[in-house]
């Protein structure tokens, strides 16, 4: 009796693992259009992600000290070549967001440039003062003329990601 029950259970498992067939062509095309992503950090969904232009609109309304929880999709411009511990995402019109990873808990591949990424986390604006910019320029060994040409603070669009999806 135990053999019959075991055989029946094994048969059900094998038959339930068979290939499922798609009934109509629209479902097949929908399945083929789904992008595959690799997950880094917290597991997140691609649904509901803002476009890079929509994200730039959000950044433009923020002041220093403001933070918003958001998810957006964009192309990767650059990745840290030492560890993959940061990346920059395009916001259009030569603007970009500097993305770091929460608690330094994960890294992204160093060869991820030009791939599509979806990031989830907190967006904020940081402003680097003129004095700090001049100090950095001096540290970089820039000429006195270049240092004196710094007259306005620099606004940085920053993002602290807790989860990232990168297209395969």
Over residues 14-41, the mean pLDDT reads 53
Give the architecture-level CATH label for domain 36-167: Beta Barrel (2.40)
Which segment of 13-17, 27-31, 66-70, 107-111 scores lowest on mean pLDDT?
A: 27-31
Residues 106, 154: Cα–Cα separation, whole Å: 28
- Domain regions of the chain by residue span: 36-167
- Backbone conformation region of residue 54, classed left if phi is above 0, alpha if psi is from -120 to 50, else beta: alpha
Over residues 102-131, the mean pLDDT reads 95
Check whether 86 has a pLDDT greater than 80: yes
Residues 85, 104: Cα–Cα separation, whole Å: 7
Over residues 4-25, the mean pLDDT reads 44
pTM (predicted TM-score)? 0.70
pLDDT mean across residues, the chain? 84
Residues 113, 36: Cα–Cα separation, whole Å: 17
Check whether 111 has a pLDDT greater than 90: yes
First to last CA, the chain: 49
């Amino acid at each position: 009796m135990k053999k019959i029950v075991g055989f029946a259970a094994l048969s059900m498992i094998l038959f339930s693992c068979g290939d499922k067939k798609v009934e109509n062509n629209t479902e097949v095309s929908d399945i083929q259009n789904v992008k595959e992503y690799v997950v880094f950090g917290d597991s997140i969904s691609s649904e509901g992600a803002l476009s890079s232009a929509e994200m730039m609109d959000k950044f433009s309304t923020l002041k220093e000290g403001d933070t918003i929880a958001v998810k957006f999709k964009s192309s990767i411009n650059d990745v840290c070549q030492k560890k993959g511990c940061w990346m920059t995402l395009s916001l259009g019109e030569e603007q970009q967001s500097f993305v770091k990873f929460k608690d330094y808990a994960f890294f992204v591949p160093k060869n991820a440039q030009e791939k599509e990424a979806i990031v989830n986390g907190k967006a904020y604006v940081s402003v680097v003062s003129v004095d700090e910019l001049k100090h950095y320029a001096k540290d970089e060994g820039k000429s006195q003329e270049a240092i004196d040409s710094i007259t306005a603070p620099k606004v940085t669009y920053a993002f602290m990601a807790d989860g990232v999806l990168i297209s395969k």
